[in-house]
C-alpha cells in the first residue's frame, strides 16, 4: 500500500486558556477564590485591589414571585421583614462577608484541613514506639477501621492481605490491636458494640458507681438488656436495683460511635457564604456575597504605558494585560453562572426555604442544566463547596438537590423529605419499642410513599440513627 496525503475537516472542542481559567475559577470555594485572586494581584503588575469596583449586573439581586407552595389558593399576605436583618441583607452581608473572610481566613483553612480519624490514629501509632513489623500491622488495622471507629473486618482476612511481605497470625496481631484500642478516642478499634463500651468502661476509675455491673452487662448481656429490664438485671447479675440502675445510666452515658466526632467541622469554624437569599414582601431575592466577586481592576496607568514602552517592555506588559483581562472575564463569568444557578434553585425549591426539608422537591443536576441551557458538569462545579445564607441558616448548595421517589398519588417526593420523615418518626417512637426498618417502611407506605426496607436502612444510616435494637431505652 503506497503512502499518500489527504486533507479532512472535522469539528472538535478545544479548551482555550480563557475557558480553562473560567472552569478553574468556577469550581473554587470563596476562600480559594480569594487566595487565587490575591496571588494574581501579587504576580501581575497590571492588577490591583480597588475600594469600590463596579461589576455591572454581576452583583445585582434578582426577585422571584412568592414561589413557596401555599396550602390554599387564597392570596398570601406579604411576609413581614424584620427591621434588623433581611431587608438590609445584601449591603450588610456584603460588608460582613468581606471583613469576615479577611479576619478569619486561617480558621476557615483549618476547617478544610481538619484531621480525619485515620490521620489521628496514625499520628498516635507513629508516636507509640512500635517495631517496624508492628507498625506495618498497625497501619493495616487502622486502615480497616470505619468512620464510627469500629474494626468490622475479619482479622484473618485482613492479615492475609499483608502476605508475603508480613506473615503473621491473628494471635500475634492481637497485641497491636489492643494497643490501638488504648488510643484516643476511647473505644476505637472495637470489633462490636460490647467491646467498644467495655473499652470505655475500663478507662474509667475503678470506683466509678455502676462500673463493675456495667462491665458484666457489656460483656454478656448487652443485646438482652431491653428484655431483661432492671429486675432481670438484678436477678442475672446478682445486684441491687440501685446498682442495676446505676449501671444502665453509666452505659447510656458512653459513646457507641467514638470515631464519629472526627471528620466534622470543629467548634468555632465556619464557611463563607457565596450568596445571600432573603424574602421581602412575598418575593425571594438573591444577591452575591462580597467574596464571590473580588474587587480587582486593571491599573490604567500601566495600560497607558504600553503605548510608550519599548518593544520588550511592551510585550511584557501586553502579556500581563491579556492575563488580567482573562481573569476579570473569568470572575464575571463565575459570578454570572453562580447567580443563575442560585436563582434557579430558589425558583425550584422555594418550598424548601419556607417550610424546611419536608418540602424539598426532587431536583437533579440535569434538571438545572436543562433549565439554564448549561452542561451538567458546569452545574456540578458551580455548586461544589458553595454556600448560601438563608432565613434558615447557612446551607450548602448541594442541600437543594435530592433524588425523587414516585408516590402512590402519582407525584414524587424527595429522598431528603423521606429522611426528614424518618427522623420525625424515630423522634416520636416509644423508647422501649423502637420502630424497626420494616415498621418505618410500612408507615411510609401507608402515607403513600412506597419505600423498601433496605432503602429505609440506607437513609437511617445516612442520618446516623442506630438500628432499632440499639435505640432501646429502659428504666
pLDDT mean over 420-435: 87
Residue 263's CB: how many other CB atoms inside 10 A?
Answer: 14
| Band of pLDDT at residue 475, cut at 50, 70 and 90 | low
177: pLDDT strictly greater than 90 = yes
- pLDDT of 277 reads 93
pLDDT tens track for 332-381:
999 999 999 999 999 999 988 888 877 888 888 888 999 999 888 788 88
Give percent of the chain above pLDDT 90.
Answer: 15
Three cell numbers written together for 60: 445585582
User: Under 8 Å CB-to-CB from 156, ≥6 apart: which residues?
Assistant: 170
Mean pLDDT of the chain: 77
Q: Answer yes or no: are the C-beta atoms of 288 and 58 closer than 8 Å.
A: yes
66: pLDDT strictly greater than 50 = no
- pLDDT of 84 reads 34
pLDDT mean over 437-447: 87
Q: How far apart are CA 357 and CA 137, in angstroms?
A: 45
248: pLDDT strictly greater than 80 = yes
Half-sphere exposure (Cβ direction) of 236: Cα atoms closer than 13 Å: 17
- pLDDT of 372 reads 94
pLDDT mean over 269-280: 81
The pair phi, psi for residue 358, each rounded to 5°, is: -65, -20
pLDDT mean over 149-176: 84
For 58, which DSSP code? G
Which of 1-5, 47-51, 333-337 is the least confident region? 1-5
| Domain covering 403-470 in this structure, CATH number | 1.10.10.60
The pair phi, psi for residue 2, each rounded to 5°, is: -80, 140
92: pLDDT strictly greater than 50 = no
Q: How far apart are CA 298 and CA 47, in angstroms?
A: 5
- pLDDT of 122 reads 86
Cα–Cα distances in Å, from 378 out to 241, 288, 322, 365, 374?
63, 18, 24, 9, 7
Three cell numbers written together for 228: 431483661
Which of 64-78, 263-277, 311-325 is the least confident region? 64-78
| Band of pLDDT at residue 18, cut at 50, 70 and 90 | confident
Which stretch, 284-288, 390-394, 470-474, has highest mean pLDDT?
284-288
Task: Dump the DSSP string for 203-263.
Answer: TS-TT-TTHHHHHHIIIIITTTHHHHHHHHHIIIII--HHHHHHHHHHHHTS-S-GGGGSS
- pLDDT of 370 reads 92
- pLDDT of 331 reads 92
Give percent of the chain above pLDDT 70.
Answer: 77
Three cell numbers written together for 367: 434538571
What are the domain boundaries of the chain?
Answer: 17-66+83-108+270-398, 117-261, 403-470
- pLDDT of 252 reads 87
| Band of pLDDT at residue 90, cut at 50, 70 and 90 | very low
pLDDT mean over 179-199: 90
Q: Answer yes or no: are the C-beta atoms of 150 and 191 closer than 8 Å.
A: yes
Identify which of 254, 256, 257, 251 has the alpha carbon closest to the alpha carbon of residue 475.
Answer: 251
For the stretch 304-328, what's the b/e string if a residue is b when 16 or more beta carbons lie within 10 angstroms of its beta carbon? eebeeeeeeeeeebeebbebbebbb
Model pTM above 0.85: no
273: pLDDT strictly greater than 80 = yes
pLDDT mean over 268-294: 82
Q: How far apart are CA 434 and CA 420, in angstroms?
A: 17
The 3-state secondary structure of 374-428 reads: CCHHHHHHHHCCCEEEECCEEEEHHHHCECEEECCCCCEEEHHHHHHHHHHHHHC
- pLDDT of 2 reads 67
Q: Answer yes or no: are the C-beta atoms of 352 and 403 closer than 8 Å.
A: no
- pLDDT of 335 reads 92
pLDDT mean over 244-264: 83
Amino acid at each position: 500500500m503506497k503512502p499518500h496525503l489527504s486533507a479532512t475537516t472535522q469539528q472538535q472542542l478545544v479548551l482555550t486558556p480563557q475557558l480553562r481559567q473560567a472552569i478553574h475559577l468556577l469550581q473554587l470555594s470563596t476562600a480559594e477564590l480569594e487566595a487565587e485572586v490575591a496571588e494574581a494581584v501579587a504576580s501581575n503588575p497590571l492588577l490591583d485591589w480597588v475600594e469600590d469596583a463596579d461589576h455591572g449586573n454581576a452583583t445585582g439581586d434578582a426577585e422571584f414571585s412568592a414561589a413557596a407552595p401555599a396550602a390554599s389558593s387564597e392570596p398570601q399576605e406579604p411576609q413581614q421583614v424584620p427591621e434588623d436583618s433581611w431587608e438590609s441583607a445584601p449591603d450588610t452581608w456584603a460588608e460582613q462577608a468581606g471583613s469576615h473572610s479577611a479576619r478569619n481566613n486561617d480558621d476557615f483553612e483549618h476547617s478544610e484541613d481538619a484531621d480525619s480519624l485515620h490521620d489521628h490514629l496514625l499520628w498516635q501509632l507513629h508516636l507509640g514506639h512500635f517495631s517496624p513489623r508492628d507498625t506495618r500491622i498497625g497501619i493495616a488495622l487502622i486502615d480497616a477501621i470505619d468512620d464510627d471507629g469500629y474494626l468490622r473486618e475479619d482479622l484473618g482476612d485482613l492479615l492475609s492481605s499483608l502476605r508475603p511481605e508480613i506473615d503473621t497470625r491473628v494471635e500475634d496481631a492481637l497485641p497491636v490491636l489492643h494497643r490501638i484500642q488504648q488510643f484516643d478516642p476511647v473505644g476505637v478499634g472495637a470489633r462490636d458494640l460490647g467491646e467498644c463500651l467495655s473499652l470505655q468502661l475500663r478507662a474509667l476509675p475503678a470506683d466509678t458507681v455502676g462500673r463493675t455491673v456495667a462491665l458484666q452487662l457489656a460483656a454478656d448481656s448487652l443485646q438482652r438488656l431491653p428484655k431483661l429490664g432492671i429486675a432481670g438485671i438484678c436477678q442475672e447479675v446478682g445486684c441491687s436495683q440501685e446498682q442495676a440502675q446505676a449501671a444502665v445510666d453509666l452505659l447510656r452515658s458512653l459513646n457507641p460511635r467514638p470515631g464519629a466526632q472526627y471528620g466534622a467541622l470543629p467548634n468555632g469554624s465556619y464557611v463563607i457564604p457565596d450568596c445571600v437569599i432573603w424574602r421581602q414582601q412575598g418575593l425571594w431575592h438573591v444577591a452575591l456575597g462580597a467574596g464571590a466577586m473580588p474587587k480587582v481592576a486593571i491599573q490604567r496607568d500601566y495600560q497607558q504605558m504600553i503605548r510608550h514602552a519599548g518593544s520588550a517592555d511592551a510585550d511584557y506588559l501586553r502579556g500581563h494585560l491579556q492575563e488580567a483581562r482573562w481573569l476579570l472575564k473569568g470572575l464575571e463569568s463565575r459570578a454570572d453562572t453562580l447567580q443563575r444557578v442560585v436563582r434557579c434553585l430558589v425558583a425550584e425549591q422555594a418550598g424548601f426555604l419556607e417550610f424546611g426539608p419536608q418540602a424539598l422537591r426532587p431536583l437533579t443536576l440535569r434538571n438545572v442544566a436543562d433549565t439554564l441551557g448549561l452542561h451538567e458538569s458546569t452545574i456540578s462545579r458551580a455548586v461544589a463547596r458553595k454556600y448560601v445564607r438563608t432565613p434558615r441558616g447557612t446551607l450548602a448548595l448541594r442541600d437543594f438537590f435530592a433524588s425523587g421517589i414516585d408516590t402512590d398519588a402519582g407525584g414524587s417526593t424527595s429522598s431528603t423529605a423521606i429522611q426528614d420523615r424518618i427522623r420525625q418518626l424515630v423522634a416520636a417512637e416509644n423508647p422501649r419499642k423502637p420502630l424497626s426498618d420494616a415498621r418505618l417502611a410500612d408507615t411510609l407506605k401507608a402515607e403513600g410513599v412506597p419505600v423498601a426496607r433496605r432503602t429505609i436502612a440506607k437513609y437511617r444510616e445516612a442520618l446516623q440513627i442506630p438500628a432499632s435494637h440499639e435505640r432501646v431505652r429502659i428504666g
